Amino acid sequence: MLIRTGFDMCFRTWNPIPTIGLLDLRPEYEAQLHTPQDLITEPALEVHHYTDMFGNVGSRFVLPPGDTWVRRDFVVEVPDEADPIVREAAWHPVAELPDETLPFLLGSRYCEVGKLTTAAWGAANPHESGWDKVQAVVELAHRQIQFGYSYARNDRTAFEGYSEGLGVCRDFAHLAITLCRELHIPARYCSGYMGDIGRDPIDAPMDFSAWFEAFVGGRWYTFDARHIRPRYGRIVMARGRDATDTAITTHFGPADLMHFHVHTDEVADTDLSRPPSETALPQYAGKFA
């Protein structure tokens, strides 16, 4: 499956503002790119790329005073299959977990492990496999939080999301991650692109999305507490302990977001000369039923 994706953002500043962006795809997508994922800025800026402690590709640049546009438009190939369901994936005792999974057992800024232990074990106790334990807390998080764009708040923790019962995709992810860690299951936050492929498009602007991965059955698997059902065409930009590690942009000074648009569509070719809306396939609904 070919997906054309990217974004347009405009920031307004009054002074030079150093900025960090996690705007690239994860390095493992390099072989799947059908067009370059060039980062275009207007005015042209000097951009320095680096790799962070989680293997994400970061960009450093300084926004000048005034309006700066940051754009990206590219085509990447991803599998036609939806997120896998592996009910037999085992739960691993902590002593048997690989070293690299251990940081994702611990509390972090938005995932305060220790406050939701009873809720997590109450949901997971009837289940034996690691997969079913994770799915049980995913369903708990899905029931607990009511989604709404107006409920967005950038300082809401997992416990606050659980208590308030409101949030956006990052709050669903933070709550499910925290519940997994209460069960001693490593869980890590993911941010990236996810369109409406395989289902009816919703009447709302496209945005970046958040979900999570849990380590069961000897590997990382994708879970999504907001959408609950497997989805097609996820594309990971960044992974980390929570949203702190995966922020799309971090500004070291005041910067107002004046324009924001994300596009993510299945396409039949790699023609970037036409607007994204003209290259998208006309209808997804039922295609992958």
Q: What is the pLDDT of residue 204?
A: 63
Can you give the pLDDT at residue 276?
Answer: 87
**Residue showing tokens 């602007």:** 205
Question: Are 111 and 14 found together in one domain?
Answer: no
The residue type of 48 is H
Q: Are residues 231 and 110 located together in one domain of the fold? A: yes
Whether 71 contacts 21, CB under 8 Å = no
In a domain, 87, yes or no: no
Are the CB atoms for 120 and 183 separated by under 8 Å?
A: yes
Mean pLDDT of the chain: 93
Q: How many domains does the chain have?
A: 2
pLDDT, tens digit, 9 for 90 and up, residues 235-248: 999 999 999 999 99
- Closest to 58 measured CA to CA, from 85, 81, 39, 86: 39
Q: Residue 203 above 70 pLDDT?
A: no
Q: What is the average pLDDT across 188-217?
A: 86
- Which CATH number does the domain housing residue 47 bear? 2.60.40.2250
**Domain extent for 11:** 2-79+247-279
Compute CA distances 205 → 4, 243, 260, 282, whole Å.
16, 21, 9, 17
User: What pTM was computed for the model?
Assistant: 0.93
pLDDT of residue 147: 93
Res. 195: pLDDT tops 90 = no
Give the pLDDT mean for 94-113. Answer: 97
Residue 167 phi, psi (nearest 5): 165, -175
Q: Where are the alpha helices (DSSP H) in the chain?
A: 117-124, 130-144, 158-164, 169-182, 276-279
Q: Are 23 and 72 in contact (CB under 8 A)?
A: yes
Do the beta carbons of residue 246 and residue 32 sit within 8 Å?
no
What sign has the CA pseudo-torsion 139, 141, 142, 144? Answer: positive
Confidence of residue 205 (pLDDT cuts 50, 70, 90): low
Whether residues 239 and 254 fall in one domain: no
The number of CA neighbours under 13 Å toward the Cβ of 172 is 26
CATH number of the domain that residue 239 is part of: 3.10.620.30
For residue range 129-150, what is the model confidence (pLDDT) as tens digits? 999 999 999 999 999 999 998 8
**Same domain for 215 and 171:** yes
127 and 190 together in one domain = yes
Query: Is 88 inside a domain boundary?
Result: no
Is 74 in the same domain as 176? no
Q: Is 125 inside any structural domain?
A: yes
Residues 272 and 137 in one domain: no
Amino acid 281: pLDDT: 80
